[in-house]
Amino acid sequence: MAQAYFGGGTRILLKETAGLLMVFVCFLSLTEAAMFPDVKVEPVIMDEQVLWLREAVGEVNTYRIPIITYTPKGNLIALAEARKCTEDDGGAKFIALRRSLDKGATWKPTEFIVDDGDVPDGLNLGAVVVDEEKDIIFIVYSLCAHYYMCNVSSTMLIASLDDGITWTRPRNLSKEIGTKMFCAGPGYGIQKKYEPHKGRLIVCGHGTIEGDGIFCLLSDNHGNNWTNGGNLKSIPYNQPKQNKDFNPDECQPYELPDGSVVINARNQNFYHCNCRIVVHSTDGCDTLPVENVKFEKDLIDPAVAAGALLKNNIVFFTNPANEHKRLNLTLRWSYSGSSWGDNSIQIWSGPSGYSCITTLDGSVEESKYIYVIYEKGHFHTDDTISVAKVHLYGGI
């Protein structure tokens, strides 16, 4: 398995320059940090484009579950579920992909990189995670997540070694992690930049409605092997739920400079409030202690998958900012990571659903931008999937 996703010797020529590159990266990071320590965030939407439309075209009925990520070479990849016959969560699907090689200015045509055939309970798009140390992009997704005309769920993995141009055949992780239903994300996984467990890949997600909660998958050898990490189970666990039960669901992790991981989660049954559940892990998601759970009352939420990202030591968050309806896609930010105040800008006032955030690093100019992909509609939340390029500092 050592060569499962990357060929030995292909990067030998880079070793001689690794030291110089590390010096440059460290210098660049310090430069960017020095430029933005006290700069006030004043977001401006510089550009927005529709990537996918709801209308049935060819074999696709509806596009849902938008995800966006950077790539090792500094490009952008957008992903979505291309639902073949219905707008419902079940049914057969493709994983749809579009690439941008010019920082979101233009996007290449849609490609279908996974096809589950005509199964009655098809794939659920989960999370993308970039291994920056090995220049690999992984996508984690699930099969038979709803147990509709099937009874064994599988967690699947594909990988790209060439910046998202080609992808490996799907690999079933069931022998490593079991067959408990696990839906990653939806969003992105992380590679830890700091100790503890520097370099670890972390993908978090949720389980079935009865056996729900936050569950994390971990890899300490660049995706060659995966293990089950920490979890935060619903209460009552593996039992039917009622309104106001504790039931964390779809989630997005990000890492803080102190090495801790924050997981921002959907509060499925509105336990304690119509707001987000947040849990901190200080051991690289080996555990998700219940004593580290808090409720972000400022982040009102109608129970939906949301975007979260740490950039320039500021936490950014996107969701439909409404307690009951999927309306009003809003970008919020926190300088402390725990206090949000009135720091917000509306991205879209109408129907809006799932969202995801990414950023490109590597230059001072790119430190000014984030990219928000989200479900945007005039009549339904899934009329389109759109991506907005947001300048964080007033367009300057």
Q: What is the pTM of this model?
A: 0.91
**Cis omega before residue 120 (within 30°)?**
no
The torsion of the CA quartet 318, 313, 289, 190, rounded to 10 degrees, works out to 70
Question: Which one from 89, 111, 115, 176 is the annotated catalytic residue?
Answer: 89
Q: What is the pLDDT of residues 221-263, one digit of tens each?
A: 999 999 999 999 999 999 999 999 999 999 999 999 999 999 9
Is 87 an annotated catalytic residue?
no
Q: Span 84-95, mean pLDDT? A: 94
281: helix, strand or coil? strand
| Rg of the chain (C-alpha set) | 20
Q: What is the pLDDT of residues 330-383, one digit of tens each?
A: 999 999 998 999 999 999 999 999 999 999 988 899 999 999 999 999 999 999
Number of alpha carbons in the 13 Å side-chain half-sphere of residue 179: 8
The answer on pLDDT for 9 being more than 60 is: no
Q: Looking at residue 57, what DSSP letter applies?
A: B
Question: Which one from 5, 63, 254, 354 is the annotated catalytic residue?
Answer: 354
Residues ≥6 apart with Cβ < 8 Å to 6: 134, 135, 136, 161, 222
| CATH of region 12-391, choose from 3.50.50.60, 3.30.365.10, 3.40.50.880, 2.120.10.10 | 2.120.10.10
- Please report the DSSP string for 99-139 in residue order: EESSTTS--PPPEEEEE-TT-SB--EEEEEEEETTTTEEEE
Is 354 an annotated catalytic residue?
yes
Say which residue, 65 or 22, is predicted with more confidence.
65
Owner of token pair 């990988």: 159
Q: Where are the domains of the chain?
A: 12-391
What sign for the dihedral angle of Cα 278, 193, 167, 169? negative
Distance CA 296, CA 309 (A): 16
Structure tokens at 14: 């880079």
Number of alpha carbons in the 13 Å side-chain half-sphere of residue 101: 5
Distance CA 173, CA 170 (A): 10
- Share above pLDDT 90 across residues of the chain, in percent, rounded to a whole number: 86
Distance CA 128, CA 15 (A): 27
Return the minimum-mean-pLDDT range out of 31-40, 95-104, 117-126, 308-317: 31-40
Is 133 an annotated catalytic residue?
no
Question: Which one from 250, 375, 382, 383 is the annotated catalytic residue?
Answer: 375
The answer on pLDDT for 205 being more than 60 is: yes
Q: What is the pLDDT of residues 136-182, one digit of tens each?
A: 999 999 999 999 999 999 999 999 999 999 999 999 999 999 999 99
Where residue 12 falls among pLDDT bands split at 50, 70, 90? very low
